[in-house]
A and B are shown apart, each in its own frame.
Chain A
């Protein structure tokens, strides 16, 4: 029977106009920047490392990610030794947080190989594993991606929230891990029935940051963050790369952010816990998903066999956006006369640039391409 649409499909609730929403982003903008603040040491520069043969059957070939990361760091920093490149971003004695995108791990999420390459790189720069921490928002994500502590022994796996079944009820935990003194506020909230979970932390218009980001390493938090996004399409903001991995992976009450993602993602990243601590972005593009994300859809995954490395998350996302757009056109998922429409619709990167988080269109982005044999 041919597909026929029902005539009475429900109509989703209207989305607010992102540009008319009031938020407290001015609070973030008033905070003085540090030398580490986004866009970091190399604004507008993105190292792209291409290693043909880095994957086999969409899975990484052993050792490839480590070579690619070393080459990319050298290209970005100009250092000859990757250890010295790492030392530009981290210093022994600091506690380092690692945020990777776990969604779609087997198909399109961040691979263990890239995380391992980062852990080894940090170690080479004098950061012992006991001073590294990988964080997840939920224990489900954690379970789905196996356990980082078993893949990288000695690296702490830290959950921001978890669920346990207690007396037959789902019982959330981890409330004390959020800092109620630091929040992003915007006048958008989900209706109660859509307020996802108790662990989303009382819904409403506020999104809190975790204590590990609002506190320094010697006070139980982290001093620096290495961001490891995946190269992936998203049905909402079109891409889920560097900025989105940070914003949605580091705040409570974030599902509402999909209603105004053009602002939510950038404005959350403008707050000091992220803006001043994320010193390096390493995008795992060993494979890319060009449509129907963020849920894994293997038919839209292709072996991109690249890593993108930048201190500037906006420049990195801008490069990724265009690569994904081109792939959609090539695969026949997007007509060429619709390209500009997509660019106009997804203006979140322009918002990020206006907030001073990096380079989007203000000047040409310098892409340093390295090809490995």
Chain B
């Protein structure tokens, strides 16, 4: 009985890690865009290494893990960050903080914020940030495609 429980736990953890990793769209989504470098995973307290000075906000509300991937095409670059909190209220609290006084929309996730540089949205225990460092139609279109793809995967995952 004990062994069964242990195996069940291991399987649950493995499934959880795999499903998290597969949230990041592969090369070719959107067409012509490629992954640049490795996907970086930060678990628990390692978040500090990614946002030096900004990790506290996430950790205080129950941060679980983060995956980061850059996408490039013809000199354009977009960064995707998917934060998983321990539970939806934690994600909600973080999202409310980082989008304070910004106009909420409903295009992606259960709620989102859009502007010329960033798409931020939340679904379940996940907060997603997609950022470009320039203005322009190509990065904006790529950001929209990435957001749609990730949101689709998240919908499957949290439902």
Is A bound to B? yes
A89 within 8 A of B: no
Which stretch in A4-12, A149-157, A352-360 binds the other chain?
A: A4-12
Binary per-residue interface labels of chain B (112-147) against chain A in the complex, 1 for a CB within 8 Å, 0 otherwise: 000111100000000000011111000000000000
A1 near B46 (CB under 8 angstroms)? no
Contact of A292 among B44, B55, B98, B133 (CB under 8 A): B98
A258, B116: Cα distance in complex, Å: 31
B88 near A6 (CB under 8 angstroms)? yes
B101 near A333 (CB under 8 angstroms)? yes
Q: Which residue of B lies closest to A294 (CB)?
A: B53
B148 within 8 A of A: no
B56 within 8 A of A: yes
A141 within 8 A of B: yes
Binary per-residue interface labels of chain B (51-91) against chain A in the complex, 1 for a CB within 8 Å, 0 otherwise: 11111110111100000000000000000000000001110
Q: A140-B49, A197-B45 are in contact. Are A5 and B96 (CB under 8 A)?
A: yes
Contact of A295 among B44, B45, B54, B93 (CB under 8 A): B54
Q: A196-B45, A295-B51 are in contact. Are A2 and B104 (CB under 8 A)?
A: yes
A31 within 8 A of B: no
Q: A107-B133, A140-B49, A248-B52 are in contact. Are A12 and B61 (CB under 8 A)?
A: yes
B50 within 8 A of A: yes
B84 to chain A, nearest CB (A): 15
A200, B60: Cα distance in complex, Å: 18
Binary per-residue interface labels of chain A (9-37) against chain B in the complex, 1 for a CB within 8 Å, 0 otherwise: 11011000000000000000000000000
Q: Which residue of A lies closest to B129 (CB)?
A: A295
A221 within 8 A of B: no
Q: Which residue of A lies closest to B120 (CB)?
A: A297
A255 near B56 (CB under 8 angstroms)? yes
Which stretch in A72-80, A208-216, A233-241 binds the other chain?
A: A233-241
B93 near A9 (CB under 8 angstroms)? yes
**Which applies to chain A's interface (DSSP): helix, strand, loop or mixed?**
loop
Q: A1-B110, A298-B117 are in contact. Are A140 and B45 (CB under 8 A)?
A: no
> Could you say which interface size class chain A belongs to?
35 or more
A304, B155: Cα distance in complex, Å: 41
A2 near B118 (CB under 8 angstroms)? no
Write out the residue numbers on chain A whose beta carbons fall within 8 Å of the beta carbon of B60: 10, 12-13
B57 near A235 (CB under 8 angstroms)? yes
Q: Which residue of A lies closest to B42 (CB)?
A: A140
A299 within 8 A of B: yes
Write out the residue numbers on chain B whose beta carbons fall within 8 Å of the beta carbon of A2: 104, 106, 111
A196 near B48 (CB under 8 angstroms)? yes
Write out the residue numbers on chain A whose beta carbons fall within 8 Å of the beta carbon of B56: 236, 255, 258
B133 near A298 (CB under 8 angstroms)? yes
Write out the residue numbers on chain B whose beta carbons fall within 8 Å of the beta carbon of A244: 53
A236 to chain B, nearest CB (A): 7
- Residue tally, chain B, CB below 8 Å to A: 39
Write out the residue numbers on chain B whose beta carbons fall within 8 Å of the beta carbon of A224: none
A91 within 8 A of B: no
Q: A1-B106, A8-B89 are in contact. Are A297 and B53 (CB under 8 A)?
A: no
Write out the residue numbers on chain A whose beta carbons fall within 8 Å of the beta carbon of B50: 140
B143 to chain A, nearest CB (A): 12
Q: Which of B50, B53, B57, B116 has the most CB of A within 10 A?
A: B53
Q: Which residue of A lies closest to B44 (CB)?
A: A193
A195 near B53 (CB under 8 angstroms)? no
B89 near A6 (CB under 8 angstroms)? yes
Q: Which of B62, B106, B117 has the most CB of A within 10 A?
A: B117
A13, B59: Cα distance in complex, Å: 11
B141 to chain A, nearest CB (A): 17
Write out the residue numbers on chain A whose beta carbons fall within 8 Å of the beta carbon of B48: 196-197, 255
A159 within 8 A of B: no
B35 to chain A, nearest CB (A): 17
Binary per-residue interface labels of chain A (185-196) against chain B in the complex, 1 for a CB within 8 Å, 0 otherwise: 000000001111
Q: Which residue of B lies closest to A140 (CB)?
A: B49
A8, B61: Cα distance in complex, Å: 12
A193, B110: Cα distance in complex, Å: 30
6 tightest CB-CB pairs across the interface, nearest first? A298-B117, A3-B104, A12-B60, A9-B93, A3-B111, A294-B53
- Please name 11 further chain A to chain B contacts, defined as beta carbons within 8 Å, in addition to the given A255-B56, A294-B51, sorted by A numbering: A1-B110, A2-B111, A9-B96, A10-B93, A12-B61, A57-B134, A138-B52, A140-B50, A170-B46, A235-B97, A236-B56
Q: Which residues of A contact B (CB under 8 A)?
A: 1-3, 5-6, 8-10, 12-13, 57-58, 103, 106-107, 137-138, 140-141, 163, 170, 193-197, 234-236, 240, 244, 248, 255, 258, 292-299, 333
Q: Which residues of B contact A (CB under 8 A)?
A: 44-46, 48-57, 59-62, 88-90, 92-93, 96-98, 101, 104, 106, 110-111, 115-118, 131-135
Of the A-B pairs whose beta carbons lie under 8 Å apart in the complex, a sample of 11, sorted by A's number, is A6-B88, A10-B89, A12-B60, A57-B134, A57-B135, A235-B97, A240-B53, A296-B131, A298-B117, A299-B117, A333-B101
